[in-house]
Amino acid sequence: MSAAAKIAGVATLAGFMMTVAVIAAVTEPRVPEAANAAEARAERDPLAAELARCRALTMPDSGCEAAWAAHQRRFFGKEGTQP
C-alpha cells in the first residue's frame, strides 16, 4: 500500500470520526419513553412514587414495607383486605 493511500485512509477515518462527534454534540439526548411513563404514573399514583423511592434505599424502612405490602395486595387483587 502506498503512502498516499494510507494518508487518504487516515483522512477518511478522521473525517468520519469528526462527523460522528459533531452529530453527537449537536443532537439533544432523548429521554426514553419508559422514563416518561414512569414519571407520569408516579404523579398519578402516590404508591408508585413511594415504591420508586424505596427501590433506591438499602436500609429497612417502615414506610417502604407498608408500600410493598399495599402493592402486593393490589397485585393479587386483595385491595380491600387487611394483612
Scanning the structure block, which residue is given the C-alpha cell 408500600?
67
Average pLDDT over residues 58-78: 86
| pLDDT value at residue 10 | 95
Is the pLDDT at 80 greater than 60? The verdict is: no
Give the three cell numbers for residue 80: 380491600
Give the three cell numbers for residue 9: 485512509
| pLDDT value at residue 5 | 94
Is the pLDDT at 51 greater than 80? The verdict is: yes
Q: Which of 21-25, 33-37, 44-48, 59-63 has the lowest mean pLDDT?
A: 33-37
State the virtual CA torsion across 55, 56, 62, 68 in degrees, nearest 10: 0
Domain boundaries, the chain: 1-30, 33-75
Residues 38, 43: Cα–Cα separation, whole Å: 9
Average pLDDT over residues 11-30: 92
